[in-house]
Amino acid sequence: MGVMIIAGLIIVIVTIFQRLTSKTNFSSEVPYSLTEEMPKSFKLKDVVIGGDKIGVQFQDDKGENFIIFYNVDDGKQIGRLTFSFSK
Q: What is the pTM of this model?
A: 0.54
For residues 18 and 13, give the distance between their C-alpha atoms in angstroms, rounded to a whole number. Answer: 9
Q: Is the dihedral of CA 45, 83, 55, 76 positive or negative?
A: negative
Kindly report, residue by residue over 5-32, the tens digit of the pLDDT.
898 889 998 888 887 776 655 555 656 5
Which strands form 53-59's sheet, in the order they lie side by side? 43-50, 53-59, 65-71, 77-83
Which structural domain range is residue 40 located in?
A: 2-25+33-83
User: How confident is the model at residue 73, as a pLDDT?
Assistant: 80
- How many distinct structural domains can be found in the chain? 1
